[in-house]
Chain A
Amino acid sequence: MSPHSLVQALYVFVLAGFVGFLVITRVPSLLHTPLMSATNAISAISLVGSLVAAGSGRSHAATLLGFVAVTSATINVVGGFLITDRMLKMFRRKPAGKPEAKGPGR
């Protein structure tokens, strides 16, 4: 990794941080817990790095570390997206059991 590519990655990091700031300040406090589990699931993207470590066959140590990393990242991907969906499913304007709206326009 050259200093040049470090600077490039810094650009991406800072700009993505800005996007994150703008998007996340608009999330209402109502959804702060789902937000937390969602960002947690998304940051399990380190799975991508783990896959390469586990599959490149560079050394036994790397394969083993990669295997554990793939496992824990997958736990967060699978568990994180499932639990976020489970939570979001519960946020309803009208209580369950009653029809959403009786009036026309549905």
Chain B
Amino acid sequence: MTRELFIQASYLASSVLFILGLRSLTHPDSARRGMHLAALGMLVAVVGTLLHREIVDYRWIVAGLALGSLIGYPLGMWVPMTAMPQRIAISHMFGALAATLVGVAEFTTLGNGSGVGQAQMAALGFEVLFGSLTITGSLIAFLKLQGLLPGVPLTFRGQNVVSLALFATGVVLFAWLVANPAQPAAFHAMLFVGLGFGVSLVLPIGGADMPVVISLLNSYAGLASAATGFAIGNNVLVIAGALDGASGFILSIIMSKAMNRSFGNVLFGAFGTPQASATTAAAGLAVHSVSPEDAAVQLAYAHKVIVVPGYGLAVSQAQHQLRELATLVEKNGGEVTYAIHPVAGRMPGHMNVLLAEADVPYDRLREMEDVNPEFPSADVVLVIGANDVVNPAAKHDPKSPIYGMPILDVEHAKHVLVLKRTMNPGFAGIENQLFYMPQTSILFGDAKASLQKLITEVRQA
């Protein structure tokens, strides 16, 4: 009795510590200490659980803890910040895998379903369905972000039909199992249907839509954990899973809004197929290419510079060079701020993490609504590897696929300097009128190399 009380007290303590930890994330100054509290909460819950009466053999537990720590340490300490999106995606897979396997183990030990009540079966069903689709969905997202699969949408004829058929089959199997849980074949079929659905859900989603998908998978992994809590009757799992589920859900809503698209459109739209008409629209217009020397002169004498970073900055890993250039501009008396679009990059907050790594103070990182009124007074706006988030077509062209998406009002600036690899249209395959405007000049080349040249030139200017 005392032992059971102690275990429950440890779970209550860890639930409180988790919530306090997340609450600390409302401010960067308190965040670190808060997360230490959350980690303590995890330790408390694990220690409490190890006293559980049902645990009779610690050998496999110790082996699993050791192996997990061995793999987890490098994943925590050595993964570079530029690889953060794929790192997050793969961690959703591990979380979902753990939840799913606990569900399968529970079903198997309870007489292959014959000892499972209907309420418990409903919980196990949710756990296995959400878990299995998150396992494969996150794996595909990881492979795409890591470049092991092409980042473009992979589609085939009737893809949506296959996805919907898999989804419907999963729902039917779920209902059937709840009606009669003692059906191991149906249970395993549901597991495989979930795995298949995860693949067909994420394969057709392109790189620019990844922020929504990663957030959604984050939410599903949390819901799978919460369902585990329902299935094994453990409140700390329910609470932590609900927190994770809510967080992922809120992030996916924020990301969808920032792209002016609905969930359904992101998941089933297969956006990003190149538009044949788009390239012709810009035919006959010329871009103004600029030399590093001329660009450097503009930067060296600018009073107010706004930097707009995009995924290209992450790809060329140029965040440190950018910071160095900004320091030089500041030395010359200029002011440098950074305008962060909510979906710049491949996951929520991607650009903030990159720039923080390069030692950019966080009060220089400005949100879209906050910084948009300042573009008209900027001397130079430096656009690095960003495209769709600065495309004025989102405001002016009702035929554009990104019409209605909130963008950074870069076109109002006195001068726009774009660092760009080639003139290929951006991810969405949409021509960007910004690049043809009279106040825009383009410095072609890899972002890192271009920034390096600018640093050298500004030093001499």
Contact = CB atoms under 8 A, between A and B. Distances in A.
Contacts of B73: 78-79, 82
B25 A1 contact: no
Interface string A73-106: 1111111111111111111111111000000000
Nearest to B118: A3
Interface centre among A43, A69, A76 (most CB of B within 10 A): A43
Contacts of A61: 105, 108-109
A99 to B, nearest CB: 14
Contacts of B102: 46, 49-50, 53, 65-66, 69
Contacts of B347: 32-33, 36
A70 B68 contact: yes
B28 A31 contact: yes
B175 interface: no
Contacts of A27: 22, 25-26
Interface centre among B87, B245, B247 (most CB of A within 10 A): B247
B67 A45 contact: no
B373 interface: no
Given A35-B247, A40-B244, A46-B95, A66 B105 contact: yes
Contacts of B42: 41-42, 44-45, 47, 77, 81
Interface residues of A, number: 87
Interface string B186-226: 00000000000000000000000000001100100110111
Contact of B75 (A46, A79, A95): A79
Contact of A52 (B27, B36, B54, B79): B54
B46 interface: yes
B9 to A, nearest CB: 14
Contacts of A56: 54-57, 109
Contacts of B221: 40, 43
Nearest to B366: A30
A20 B22 contact: yes
A1 B46 contact: no
Contact of B22 (A39, A68, A74, A88): A39
Contacts, number: 391
Given A40-B221, A40-B244, A50 B101 contact: yes
B60 A54 contact: yes
A40 B218 contact: yes
Nearest to B72: A78
A33 B247 contact: no
B356 interface: yes
A61 B38 CA distance: 32
A98 to B, nearest CB: 10
Contacts of A58: 109
A5 B32 CA distance: 36
A78 B68 contact: yes
B98 A38 contact: no
B342 A29 contact: yes
A67 to B, nearest CB: 4
B68 A91 contact: no
B237 interface: yes
B250 A24 contact: yes
B95 A62 contact: no
Contact of B243 (A42, A79, A88): A42
A48 B236 CA distance: 9
B1 interface: no
A21 B250 contact: yes
B88 A33 contact: yes
Contacts of A36: 88, 214-215, 218, 247-248, 251, 347-349
Interface of B: 11, 14-15, 18-19, 21-23, 25-29, 31-32, 35-36, 38-39, 41-42, 45-46, 49-50, 52, 54-58, 60-61, 63-65, 67-69, 71-77, 79, 81, 84, 87-88, 91-92, 94-95, 97-99, 101-102, 104-106, 108-109, 117, 119-120, 122-123, 214-215, 218, 221-222, 224-226, 228-248, 250-251, 254, 340, 342, 347-350, 352-353, 356-357, 359-363, 365, 367
21 contacts: A23-B243, A24-B247, A29-B348, A32-B348, A33-B350, A34-B35, A36-B251, A42-B243, A43-B243, A47-B42, A48-B49, A50-B102, A71-B67, A76-B91, A76-B95, A79-B74, A83-B76, A87-B84, A88-B35, A95-B359, A97-B359
Closest 4 CB pairs of A and B: A74-B68, A82-B76, A70-B64, A78-B72
Given A30-B367, A42-B240, A45-B45, 8 more contacts: A12-B242, A13-B241, A36-B215, A37-B91, A39-B243, A51-B49, A71-B68, A93-B363
